[in-house]
Chain A
Amino acid sequence: MFNLIPEPQNDTAIFLNGVSVRYRLPNERVATLKEYTIRLIQGKVRYNSFLALNDVNLVVKKGEIFGIMGRNGAGKSTLLKVISRVLIPTRGRVWINGIVSPLLELGAGFHPELTGMENIYLNATLLGHSRKEIKQKIQEILDFAEIGDFIEAPLRTYSSGMVGRLGFSVATAWLPEILILDEVLSVGDAAFAQKCSERMRSFRESGATVLLVSHSIDTIRSLCQRALLLEHGNVLEIGPASEVGDRYNQMIFGK
């Protein structure tokens, strides 16, 4: 970690330098303004701080498939949130080249009263696409989702499988520059799952950077070149996926 390049290079996709995230948790969760004011007057607002990420340095190159491993609560989700700009780190620098597409949020923001078509537009704009971009893609989204004539019916009349397919089609219609895959995607039936994994493959072939989060050491080993192992917010190891996988194996199954 000492030979880290201090500045992101041309072929860098993700660059983290000394990134720490410190959650400040009130001793007891004070969720109302009334309670907060009372405690403030009494001088009883105290915080516990909790370091979710501690001084993380990471460089991921464009087109790399990078694995992230760690136990529950090791800081994997926090790391992804920092990379996808949801969380601004307490300290350190986050530098991202390209649009980050968090595939884990399928159908976030769908409205049951709107039609499938209206929901496509709403969902895609939530993901940062313009109306013009959506118009160009609309046919492909419709073909992929296989909703048929239901597309003009309110979303509340859809089966959960249809909602899932629609969400996946919108989220993956654009070639992402940086793709975050949190665990295995399971949407719809076997045939659709097949289409999904084909689309994932084409993303990889197109040169998108992929961050893959998984508990499965085998998945990481077979798909990723390099990986990172987190524990209590600290980076234990960054390196070839097979070595990091071994270390993780050791860690969980003990010596």
Chain B
Amino acid sequence: MNNQTTPSQSIIYDSLKQRNLAVEELRSVFRYRDLVFQLVRRDIVTRYKRSVLGLLWTMLNPLGTMLILSIVFSQLFNMRGVYPAYIMTNLIAWNFFSQTTAASLNAMLWGSSLIKRIYLPRTSFVVSTIGTGLVNILLALVPLFFIYWVTGAPLHTTILLLPVSIFLLAIFSLGIGLILSTFVVFFPDVAEMYPILLTAWMYLTPIIYPEELLVNMFNGWLLRLNPLFPVIKVFRMVIFDGKVPALGEWGVAAGIALGTLLIGWVFFTQKSKSFAYYV
């Protein structure tokens, strides 16, 4: 008891100097980075450590969905040979987006019981779901490569650009996750509504069918107004198409992803002032 050490640094908090909440939050979440790491670790450990099947399910899940959809749709879309590889690629990107955003809602609901009792950076819960998603997407690449190998779909050197595509997908998902979790603090029923929205979103994005099928719908506005589409497209291009996206395609995807993150971060941190008044 005698050799107690005080926490590393003496910190002065002044509510008058909290003008720029977005920047303060960024600093704070960096200082609490070990917390984000522990939250990711908790999610991974509780999912995988207790059962070998947990790990297997993560890989079997997209395989199963892919199999069903392939049987149903491959005839319809006339993409017979490569269809399983096509759908598997899209599903992995889609699963990352849908799972992280849905998880951030639940993480926020869980965390809201904590943030009304102790101080911690409110974004840490949402940021940690992206961390968990990144671990999961790396695991999901195993069945993806397996399908490419089995179906003989070619893999190209453009796959080296995959980290960039995953990065854009991650920051886009973080932005959407932040916006959704702000709403869920005030209106818990958002968590009930979101799965419905997700289902609609999935069918309005070329995930299970080829892009050509949707490209002309509503004079092309359907895809133009879908912010997820350009982000998923650069993901698909580097794996499935084997094409380096044009500068414009990168630009649109990066602009949307960064813009969404910026809007989400500012919206969340501005509203987080009043979180403790509601939760």
Find out whether the CB atom of A95 lies under 8 angstroms from the CB atom of B12: yes
1/0 per residue, CB under 8 A from B, across A97-108: the answer is 111101011001
CA distance A133 to B32 in the complex (A): 12
Find out whether the CB atom of B276 lies under 8 angstroms from the CB atom of A94: no
Find out whether the CB atom of A111 lies under 8 angstroms from the CB atom of B120: no
Find out whether the CB atom of A118 lies under 8 angstroms from the CB atom of B1: no
| Residue of A with least CB distance to B31 | A128
Comparing A28-36, A183-191, A218-226, A233-241, the segment that makes contact with chain B is: A28-36
* A24 partner residues in chain B, CB cutoff 8 A: 277
Comparing A63-71, A82-90, A162-170, A242-250, the segment that makes contact with chain B is: A82-90
Beyond A86-B118, A131-B37, whether A33 also contacts B190 by CB under 8 A is yes
* B119 partner residues in chain A, CB cutoff 8 A: 84-86, 100, 128
Question: How far does the Cβ of B222 sit from chain A's closest Cβ, in whole Å?
Answer: 25
* B6 partner residues in chain A, CB cutoff 8 A: 99, 174-175, 177
1/0 per residue, CB under 8 A from B, across A21-58: the answer is 00110000001111010000000000000000000000
Q: Which of A89, A104, A105, A130 contacts B15 (CB 8 A)?
A: A89
Question: How far does the Cβ of B175 sit from chain A's closest Cβ, in whole Å?
Answer: 20
For chains A and B in complex, what number of residue pairs have CB atoms within 8 angstroms? 130
1/0 per residue, CB under 8 A from B, across A122-159: the answer is 10011111110100100000000000000000000000
CA distance A23 to B5 in the complex (A): 38
Find out whether the CB atom of A86 lies under 8 angstroms from the CB atom of B115: yes
CA distance A21 to B92 in the complex (A): 47
Find out whether the CB atom of A105 lies under 8 angstroms from the CB atom of B117: yes
Q: Which of B13, B186, B188, B190 contacts A85 (CB 8 A)?
A: B13
Find out whether the CB atom of A174 lies under 8 angstroms from the CB atom of B5: yes
Residues of B within 8 A of A (CB): 1, 4-8, 10-16, 18, 31-32, 34-35, 37-39, 41-42, 45-46, 50, 113-120, 183, 186-190, 193, 273-274, 276-277
Instruction: With A93-B16, A114-B46, A202-B1 given, name 5 new contacts (CB 8 A).
Output: A88-B276, A102-B118, A118-B42, A122-B39, A128-B35
Could you write out 29 A-B pairs with CB less than 8 Å apart?
A23-B277, A31-B189, A32-B187, A32-B189, A86-B118, A88-B18, A88-B274, A93-B14, A94-B15, A95-B14, A97-B10, A98-B12, A99-B10, A104-B117, A108-B113, A109-B114, A114-B42, A121-B41, A122-B42, A125-B37, A126-B38, A126-B120, A128-B31, A128-B35, A136-B5, A174-B5, A175-B5, A175-B6, A199-B1
